[in-house]
Amino acid sequence: MSDHRRLDLKGVFDVYQSTLRLIGAANATGAITAGAAFHALDKTPEAQQFIKVEALIFLMGVLFFAASYAGLFIALAQINNYLAATQTTERTEWEKIFIGPAKDTPDKYLSEAKTSWIGAVLFGLCSFALFMAGLLFVLFVVLVNLFHAA
């Protein structure tokens, strides 16, 4: 018998949320840095074209991060609705106010949660891919400028 325990649902969402925040912060930092570089290199128009592309890549990463975070929020809300719909005890006052009555079947809530989760993961992967593409583009620009200067 193993001493290892699986992550529960909350643990999975917490790990994903932490990872997603890191990717979002990295893309935002890349976009801000590209903006600063654009202004710092205002006398070199050939470099500004590359910096515009870098900024666009990182900003797209931020947009995909936001879409992923929205999908995560919707998935969590639908799971909460599922749990409320399958609850056998009387709802508390705050549950009546914030969750309201069940409008769909529990299976419908789970289906919507799954769809939102898949979207959140796909958008998160796109955000990560754009961050890596932005880093590779920065590396490319630096290397081209090093060899061009030599």
* 1 or 109, which is more confident: 109
Residue predicted with more confidence, 85 or 113: 113
Neighbours of 20 (CB within 10 A): 21
* pLDDT at 39 (0 to 100): 81
* pLDDT at residue 2 in the model: 66
Give the Å distances, CA to CA, from 10 to 6, 78, 107, 115.
Answer: 11, 14, 20, 18
Within a 10 A sphere around the Cβ of 25, how many other Cβ atoms?
12
In a domain, 2, yes or no: no
Residue 3, domain member (yes or no): no
The CA distance from 150 to 143, in Å, is 11
Here the tokens at position 9 are 């649902």
Confirm whether 1 is domain-assigned: no
The per-residue pLDDT for range 92-126, each reduced to its tens digit, is: 888 777 777 778 888 999 999 999 999 999 999 99
Domains: count for the chain: 1
Is 4 among the domain residues? no
Residue 9 placed within a domain: no
Asked whether the whole model's pTM tops 0.75, one would answer yes
Q: Is 7 part of any domain? A: no
Task: Note the pLDDT tens digit of each residue in 30-77.
Answer: 999 988 888 887 887 777 888 889 999 999 999 999 999 999 999 999
Expressed as residue numbers, the domain containing 134 is 15-149
Residue 123 confidence (pLDDT): 97
